Chains A and B, each alone.
Chain A
């Protein structure tokens, strides 16, 4: 079965601190992985995606993610968060020709000043 698990429903970090959001997936074929961000009252914005090649992927807004096939993980990281990073983050998996993206439950990120 296809599934994505984001174990942390809510994370709070201080501004300037590092961040890691966890994502584990289960997918029967070669997975293509995505991280989306949803700011309050906004739609979904693609942060980064992994299709193949280098397992460390750079995205927008200073985010990066690392694909680890052996752990079925695609964790999102940022070395130093800004107050504007407060949002909900969704990990998703799809595949070539797949009809849909399968999303995780989302992780809400709060930034303390």
Chain B
């Protein structure tokens, strides 16, 4: 089954404690991205990757890092989480072979930073 898998689904952490949210896709997609969802703001892109070792900032990259060492994985790293990063996070992937950005989304990771 084609899917994008995020882990964990739920996470509560303390300010300043480094964390990683993993994202994996099994569709051999070149393009992956991370979004955060906040009430009244919809989804906003954090980072994206066009392929292995190619990443770039989205609209709200501050406080986040990403890496793309393998095609299937695109982890989101919070080196020093702060309460304003409490949010619902979505990973998405799509193929370059598609003409447009028809993205597949993961189930989401709800992060709370206290």
Contacts and interface: CB of A to CB of B under 8 A. Distances in A.
Contacts of A51: 99-100
A43 B56 CA distance: 24
B28 interface: no
B33 A100 contact: yes
Contacts of B12: none
B: contact size bracket:
20 to 34
Given A51-B100, A96-B100, A103 B43 contact: yes
Contacts of B59: 100
B48 A96 contact: no
A76 B96 CA distance: 28
A99 B61 CA distance: 14
B58 A100 contact: yes
Contacts of A11: none
Given A32-B101, A99-B48, A100-B58, A105 B107 contact: no
Given A4-B42, A51-B99, A43 B105 contact: yes
Interface of B: 33, 35, 40-45, 48, 50, 56, 58-59, 90, 99-103, 105-108
